[in-house]
Structure 1
Amino acid sequence: MSITVDGLDALKKLAGSDLGTSEWIEVTQERVDTFADATGDHQWIHVDPERAKDGPFGAPIAHGYLTLSLFIPLFTELLDVRGVTTKVNYGLDKVRFPSPVTVGSRVRLAARLTEVADVPGGVQITVDGTIEIEGGTKPAAALRSLSRFYA
């Protein structure tokens, strides 16, 4: 499900809205290895499947920051803002990783647009998001994201 709005005024009208959930995506070992190469974090719990079988999670797990980075592609499935010149990530107010994501798991984003506030030249949106693990009892990540859209 995707919500499309045209311009900042239409975006402001969505404040307080539930944006729904994205499609599920699989977290593969290839994605984890690519992230490890990009960040230099090659800890064995992420990149050594054989050793990770005997580790604390029984399998390799995604990096917490890999899980967090999935917010962007998952969020773009939920909200498409047209009629703006620039879209930027402004930051995060809070992030928690309640449950690890084992390789082979599928995750999705559930999100709510909690606030739309004016900033010089545009608006800042606040999104509360939960990255859910298919079949899991706790989320992989809970976060509050700040983004800016400029006219």
Structure 2
Amino acid sequence: MEQVGNVIVIGASNREDMIDPAILRPGRLDVKIEISRPDAASARDIFSKYLTADLPLSGAALAATGGDAGAAVKALADHAVDRLYADPANKAHMSGALLRNVVDRAKTLAIKDVIRGGERGLTAVHLEKACEQELAEARAVAASTLREG
């Protein structure tokens, strides 16, 4: 063993119940910081990191904002946030990872539509479907965790 100074160890988990109690004893991890689930405003901010104006947007999304890609992306993000937070029970499933997955899934859906001969670009419909699929998966995981616990 070698003494080391000025070292900070950070542990992170979304399942505190799964952490070995020995790690949580006093003097081991001195500070606990809880990061709450994102609210709608935070979700808009998170979407802004992944849903950007450099993505290929549908002609309809661009036309709705007079060709302003930045405004189109904001409108798409607002649409997704409105969908995700329409049911207050959904907040229990929200996370930054879910929001990122919504964008990734929507991009995949857009690519599949182009392959099938559809219009090129991301649409509100892609985001809606992605929101539904991500929420369904989050609910399923939560339900299976409750059954196991």
Give TM-score, length-normalised by structure 2: 0.29
Normalized per residue, the structure richer in helix is 2
Q: Which has the higher contact order (CA 8 A, sep 6+)?
A: 1
Normalized per residue, the structure richer in strand is 1
Q: Which structure has the greater CA radius of gyration?
A: 2
